[in-house]
Amino acid sequence: MGGARGYSLVSGGLDSRLAVCVLRDAGAHVEGICFETPFFGAEKAREAARQLGIKLHVIDFTADEIALLKNPTHGFGGAMNPCIDCHATMIMRAGEMMLENGFDFVATGEVLNQRPMSQNKQSLGVVEKTSGLKGRLVRPLSAKLLEPTIPELEGKLDREKLLDLHGRTRDGQIALAANYGLKDYPSPAGGCRLTEQGFSKRLKDLMDHEGLDDLRLVRLLPVGRRFRLPGGAGLILGRNAEENALLAESAIEGDILLSPPEGVAGPNALLPKGACEADAKMGGEIVLAWSRADDRFAPPSREEYVKYQIVQ
């Protein structure tokens, strides 16, 4: 018994850590896979892999995520989060690595019925089908409640050592964490900006105007106050010294970088290329309105421009 080789999706949360521990107990060689984009990073996964002592493959998932944002087959969750398709595509990418490298399975830390909508038997089945991994997707924490997978049937993965956790209570996972000596794991929620309402507003505005093909603008999404000006240009106004410096560094040929008059403290603002003259003029007024300019510069009132502001 044993000898299976698998890639386990590692988010850094407790369940994905436990999945690795259980798979190893069942005789498998396990390597981790995690994904990064401008919307979520790999830091927690790197920390988990260090703790578990496994090799971690960090995959740039930006192109996939942008394609899903443009066309999410199963739609969005509560914000701009195409979770069903995102999760299935991650598993599909892991499956491609499995085939390329002659591994036997892909695993996740999903627990049956832990989330009533996304982790019931039917949706776990949808993910398996959408990802094209039929029979090779192992959920070690709930495996005994699911159909045996191919590596289990082939005797390469000891089904007896896999678990039957289910439901929303976390007691089983917490007891297991203590057994495996896992400490300092982050809470399961958080980490993906696509689930945040404020960030989603910025993203939707960018999608509706400039689109998502300019990755520089995608990467700048968390930065600045956002205005959509009457001529259609999107203005990014720095909120602190760090953002002001970042906007100055990010400007490329054709952009308009606006700064307060010399000797006046205030923000920088970036207008991506293509802004009309009227928007550029209004951008200058906004910079002045948010600066510390005194009456000599006749700074306009902020109130006039607040109506163009999308998010702080």
83, 143, 237, 256: residue in contact with ligand SF4 (rule CB under 6 A):
83
DSSP per-residue letters across the chain: ----EEEEE--SSHHHHHHHHHHHHTT-EEEEEEEEBTTB-SHHHHHHHHHHT--EEEEE-HHHHHHHHH--TT---SSS--HHHHHHHHHHHHHHHHHHTT--EEE----BTSSTTTSSHHHHHHHHHHTT-TT-EE-TTTGGGSPPPHHHHTTSS-GGGS---BSS--HHHHHHHHHHT--SPPPSS---GGG-HHHHHHHHHHHHTT-S--HHHHHTTTSSEEEE-TTSPEEEE--SHHHHHHHHHH--TT-EEE-PPTT-----EEE-TT--HHHHHHHHHHHHHTS---GGG-PPPTHHHHTTEEE-
88, 94, 192, 235: residue in contact with ligand SF4 (rule CB under 6 A):
192
127, 146, 182, 194: residue in contact with ligand SF4 (rule CB under 6 A):
194
Of residues 85 through 114, those in contact with ligand SF4 by CB under 6 A are 86-87
81, 108, 119, 149: residue in contact with ligand SF4 (rule CB under 6 A):
81
Whichever of 106 and 269 has its CB closer to ligand SF4, that residue is 106
Of residues 233 through 252, those in contact with ligand SF4 by CB under 6 A are none
Query: Segment near ligand SF4 (CB under 6 A), from 79-87, 107-115, 160-168, 173-181?
Result: 79-87
Of residues 114 through 173, those in contact with ligand SF4 by CB under 6 A are none
Query: Segment near ligand SF4 (CB under 6 A), from 81-89, 213-221, 246-254, 256-264?
Result: 81-89
Of residues 15 through 54, those in contact with ligand SF4 by CB under 6 A are 40
**256 binding ligand SF4? (CB under 6 A):** no
Query: Segment near ligand SF4 (CB under 6 A), from 190-198, 217-225, 248-256, 268-276?
Result: 190-198
Query: Segment near ligand SF4 (CB under 6 A), from 107-115, 191-199, 218-226, 288-296?
Result: 191-199
Question: By the criterion CB under 6 A, which residues form the site for ligand SF4?
Answer: 40, 81-83, 86-87, 192, 194-195
